[in-house]
C-alpha cells in the first residue's frame, strides 16, 4: 500500500479532462481505514478541484485513469464508458505458459458474497463478461507469460478472475494468485493499464493515451 502522497503523473491535460497514472498500491478513491483518505482522486483534486472520477482501477493495479473536469464532461465520459466507446488495454504477467497465441475468455462473473471482495465465475447467475488476450512473450525460466489484455466488459476484478479461470493467475495477485504470491509482500501485482482511447467529451475526437508498464 502506498502511504505517502506524491504529485500525480499527468499524461494528458486539457480544459475538459485529464489522464494520470495511478501507482500500484494506491487507492483510486477514498476508502476505509487509517490510510483511506490517501488516494489518487484526492491528489488530482488538490491540483484540479473540478476533476471528477469517471472510472476506477483496483488498488493493486497501476496505470492510466481518466478524470472529467466538471459535471458536463463527466456525463459525456460516463456515457462513453456505458456505451463501450472507451477502449482499454492492459499488460499483465501471468503464471504458466499460455499456449494459445490469442483468444477470448467469455465467462460470466458475479460477487462471491460470502468472501467479499472476491468475485467468481457463475454460469447461472453471473453477468456476461468478455476479455480478449494476446501473448507478447514467454519467460521459460520464470515460467510466466506476458499478455496484452482487452476487457470488452468492465466487471469488478474481471481480468484477475478470468485469468485465474483459465489457469494463469496474474503474478503478484494476493487475492487470486497462489499462496506464495499472497506472502510475497511488498511485491506488486503485475497488471498495468497501458492504453486508453476515449471520445473527447467536448470535441468527440478519439483521444489516445499510453503509459509504459513499470515491469
Which residue ranges form the domains of the chain, and what is each CATH number? 9-86 (3.30.2350.10), 89-182 (3.30.2350.10)
Q: Known catalytic residue: 58? A: yes
- pLDDT, tens digit (0-9, with 9 covering 90-100), for 66-110: 999 999 999 999 999 999 999 999 999 999 999 999 999 999 999
At residue 33, the pLDDT reads: 66
Query: Is the CB of residue 133 less than 8 Å from the CB of residue 148?
Result: yes
Band (205; pLDDT cuts 50, 70, 90) = very high
Give tens-digit pLDDT for 162-202: 999 999 999 999 999 998 887 776 689 999 999 999 999 99
Check if the beta carbon of residue 136 is closer than 8 Å to that of residue 92. no
For the residues 144-168, what does the mean pLDDT come to? 98
Residue 167 and residue 164: Cα distance in Å, rounded? 5
Q: What is the pTM of this model?
A: 0.94
What is d(CA 134, CA 174) in angstroms, rounded to the nearest whole number? 24
**Active-site residue (options: 9, 14, 50, 58):** 58
Cis ω for the linkage preceding 186 (within 30 of 0): yes
Other beta carbons within 10 Å of 60: 20
User: What is the model's pLDDT at position 35?
Assistant: 63
Summarize pLDDT for 23-65 with one digit per residue, the tens.
999 999 998 766 668 999 999 999 999 999 999 999 999 999 9
Whether 3 has a pLDDT exceeding 80, the answer reads: no
Output the pLDDT for position 184.
74
d(CA 118, CA 75) in angstroms, rounded, equals: 29
Cα(33)–Cα(214) distance, integer angstroms: 28
Which pLDDT value is given to residue 27?
96
Q: What is the rounded average pLDDT of the residues 127-141?
A: 98
Amino acid at each position: 500500500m502506498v502511504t505517502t502522497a506524491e504529485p500525480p503523473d499527468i499524461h494528458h491535460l486539457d480544459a475538459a479532462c485529464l489522464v494520470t497514472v495511478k501507482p500500484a498500491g494506491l487507492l483510486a478513491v477514498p476508502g476505509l481505514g487509517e490510510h483511506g483518505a490517501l488516494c489518487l482522486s484526492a491528489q488530482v483534486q488538490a491540483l484540479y478541484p473540478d476533476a471528477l472520477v469517471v472510472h476506477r482501477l483496483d488498488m493493486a493495479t497501476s496505470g492510466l485513469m481518466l478524470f472529467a473536469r466538471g459535471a458536463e464532461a463527466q456525463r459525456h465520459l460516463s456515457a462513453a464508458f456505458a456505451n463501450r466507446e472507451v477502449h482499454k488495454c492492459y499488460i499483465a504477467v501471468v503464471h504458466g505458459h499460455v499456449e494459445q497465441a490469442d483468444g477470448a475468455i467469455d465467462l460470466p462473473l458475479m460477487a462471491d458474497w460470502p468472501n467479499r471482495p472476491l468475485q467468481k465465475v457463475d454460469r447461472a447467475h453471473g453477468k456476461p463478461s468478455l476479455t480478449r488476450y494476446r501473448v507478447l512473450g514467454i519467460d521459460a525460466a520464470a515460467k510466466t507469460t506476458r499478455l496484452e489484455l482487452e476487457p470488452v466488459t468492465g466487471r469488478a476484478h474481471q481480468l484477475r478472475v478470468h485469468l485465474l479461470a483459465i489457469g494463469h493467475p496474474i503474478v503478484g495477485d494476493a487475492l487470486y494468485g497462489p499462496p506464495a504470491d499472497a506472502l510475497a509482500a511488498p511485491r506488486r501485482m503485475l497488471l498495468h493499464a497501458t492504453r486508453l482511447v476515449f471520445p473527447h467529451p467536448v470535441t468527440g475526437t478519439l483521444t489516445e493515451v499510453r503509459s509504459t508498464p513499470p515491469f
